Structure 1
C-alpha cells in the first residue's frame, strides 16, 4: 500500500471540499487569491482521483487470478454501501427539510438510476447528475470497472491496450452513435484512468525510482501547469499534470513510508468526498437563516466532515465491506485501504 497515494487521495478530496465550499457559500465568486484558487482549480481533485484509480486497480489485480465477476463483486462491496447510505441520507434531508437542497427533486426513476450508477438528467435541471451530485464521478468509475473486468481475461501486460480500446469504443463510438446516457460518457476525462494504469505498469517494472530532485521538479512543473492552465481538453490540461503529480509522489514513496496519519487521511477520503456535500449544504442553510459569516461556519463544517468521515470509514465502509465480502463469498485479503472510490 503506497502511503504517497494515500496522501494524494486526501489532498484531492479536500481540494474538492474547498471547491464546493466556494460554490455553496459564494456561488463561485472569489474575493481573494486563495478563493480564486479553489474556484478555478479545486475540481482537479477529481482528475487526481481518476489517475489514482487506474493505478491502484492495476496494482491490486496484477498478481491475482481474479475472474471478471469476482472483481466486480469486490468493487461493488467496496463502493456501493457508503454511496447508497449517503444517497438515502440525501433523500431523507430533501424530504424533511427541502430548503437545505432547494434545487433537488425526488423522482423515483431518477433516484433508482442514481443508485444503479446510470447517468440521467437531474430533475433539478442542472445536467446529468445523480441525486447525490458528487456521484457523477462514480458513474465514470463504474464504467471503468466494468471495462477493466473484461481486461482481466488477458495477461496483465495487455490490459492497458484492452481497456484503452474499450474506453474508446464506448465513449467515442457507441455513446455518440446511440446518444448513450445523454452523451455523458463522451468525455476525455475518462482516459485519465489509463494514465494511472501506465503509472502502475512503470511501478511494477521498478521504473518509479529516481533521486529526489527529479520528482520534486515534476511536482513543481505539474503545479505550474495546473496554475496557469490552457485552453485544451481536460485530460491534457489537468489529467497530464495529475498523472505527473501521482508518479512523482510514488517516486518519493520512501519519504512517506510508515506515516499512519497520511494512511488514515487517505483511508477516510472516500467518506470525505461523499459526506462533505451534505455537511456544507447544512452549513449554508444555517448561515442563510442566521446570518453567520461563512468563514465562521467553515471550521465547524471541517470538524464535522473530519469526524463524520472517520466514523464512516471505521463503522460503515470497513464493516460493510467485511460483511458483504463474507456474504458474497469473496476470498482473499481485503484491499480496502489501497483502493480508490
Structure 2
C-alpha cells in the first residue's frame, strides 16, 4: 500500500486530526471535526483490506496473523502503560476507566460499554475494537471466491448495522461499520481499473473536506456515519483516483507520518499528558499551549513508531517466517511487495 501515496498521506492526516481534536477538547477549542480522522481510518481500512487481498490466492490464516502483528502487540503495551498511569495518577487521565474487567476486556477488544459506547482502558482504542471485528469478518470472507467475498462482506456489514435497530447499544452493530463497507467498494472499483479524470477526482476530495466543515456547523446532531462517513468516503475515493489520473513522486516526510499513523494514534493521549505537564512546569500561558502540545506530541509519537512499533513488528514478522520455512519457500504464498506495510 506504500505505492498508493495518497493513502499514506491520508493516514498521517487522520492521526494528526485526532490528536488535534483531543487537545482542542482539553482546552475547550472548536475543532470537533478532528474526530472525523477516525472515519477516514475506517474507510481507508476497508480500501486497504480489499486491495491487498484481491487478485491473489486467499490465505485467511496469514491475513489474520498480519493483522494481529500490526495491531495487538503495541496496543497491549500502551494498554498496560495507560493502566499504570491511571493507577498512579488518575487525575491526569480523567474519563478513563480502570477495573480488572475492563483491563482484561480491553486486551481482547471486548471492553465495557459506557453510555452506549465502547470504553477500553486506552480510551481512543474503541476504534481498534471495530477494526478487529472487521478483520475477523474479512478473514472469514477470504474462504469464499472473490465475487462471493465482496457480496458477503457488504451483506454482513449491512446486516450488522441493520440489527442495531433490534440490538440497541450492542457491541459492533454501530452504523460506523458501513464505513468499512464504503472502503471495500472503493477498493473494488480501484482493482477493476476504474478511472476518473483529475478534475472530477479532485472535486471529490475538495467536496469531502467542504462537507466535513459545513455539515458539522449546520447539523452537529446528524448521525456520524452521514456527517463524517460520507465526506470521508468522498475524500478517500477522490484521493486514490486523482493519484491514478496524475501519479506523483512522494514527499518523504508525509509518507513517514503515514507509516507512523498507528503509533501517533495509539500513543498520543499518554504523550499529550506528559507534554501538557511540561508546559505547565515551564509556565507557558494556556492560550499558547495547544499548538506546541500538538506539534510536540505528534513528533514524539512518531519517534515512538521508529523506536518501538517498527522494530517490534519487524521482529514478529521475521520470527513468523523462520517458524514456517517451508511456507516461506513456496512462491504462491509470498506476499507482494506492496503489502509489506499493511
| TM-score computed with the length of structure 1 as normaliser | 0.85
Equivalent residues in 2 for 1:44-63 (5 A)?
44-63=36-55
Query: 2: CA distance between counterparts of 1:295 and 1:6?
Result: 32
Could you tell me how far apart the structure 2 residues matched to 1:336 and 1:88 are?
29
> Displacement of 1:104 after TM fit?
3.1
Structure 1 residue 220: Cα displacement: 2.3
- How far did residue 43 of structure 1 move? 1.0
* Deviation digits for residues 28-87 of structure 1 (CA, Å, limit 9, x no counterpart): xx4xxxxx2x12x11111111100000011111113323222211110011111111111
1:216 to 199, 202, 206: 202
In structure 2, what is the equivalent of residue 33 of structure 1? Answer: none
Quote the Cα distance in structure 2 between the aligned partners of 1:303 and 1:128: 28
CA–CA distance in structure 2, aligned partners of residues 102 and 270 of structure 1: 23
Q: What is the distance in 1 between the residues matched to 2:286 and 2:119?
A: 26
Tell me whether 1:8 sits opposite 2:3 in the alignment: no
Q: How many residues align?
A: 323
Structure 1 residue 336, shift from structure 2 partner: 6.8
Does residue 140 (structure 1) correspond to residue 140 (structure 2)? The answer is no
Q: Superposition pairs for residues 72-83 of structure 1, below 5 Å?
A: 72-83=64-75
What is the CA-CA distance between 1:120 and the residue it aligns to?
A: 1.5
Contact 1:51 1:195 in 2 (8 A): yes
CA contact (8 A) 1:51 1:193 kept: yes
What does 1:251-330 correspond to in 2, within 5 Å?
Answer: 251-253=241-243, 254-285=246-277, 292-329=284-321
Could you tell me how far apart the structure 2 residues matched to 1:214 and 1:176 are? 37
Which of residues 21, 24, 34 in structure 2 aligns to 1:22?
24
Q: Distance in 2 between matches of 1:157 and 1:127?
A: 34
Structure 2 residue runs of 5 or longer lacking an equivalent are: 329-333
* Worse-matched range after superposition: 301-310 or 72-81: 301-310
Q: Give how far 1:255 is off.
A: 4.7
Does 2:213 align with 1:227? yes
Aligned pairs for 1:101-250 within 5 A? 101-121=93-113, 127-173=117-163, 182-210=169-197, 212-229=198-215, 230=219, 232-250=222-240
Instruction: Report the Cα offset of residue 114 of structure 1.
Output: 0.6
The residue aligned with 2:61 is 69
**Deviation at residue 195 of structure 1 after TM alignment:** 0.8
In structure 2, do the counterparts of structure 1 residues 325 and 282 end up closer, same or farther at CA, with 3 Å as the change threshold? same
For the 8 Å contact 2:96–2:123, the answer to whether it is kept is no
**Post-superposition offset of 1:188:** 0.9
Residues 95 and 16 of structure 1, relative CA distance in 2, 3 Å threshold: same
> In 1, are the aligned partners of 2:212 and 2:227 still within 8 Å (CA)?
yes
Q: CA RMSD in A?
A: 2.6
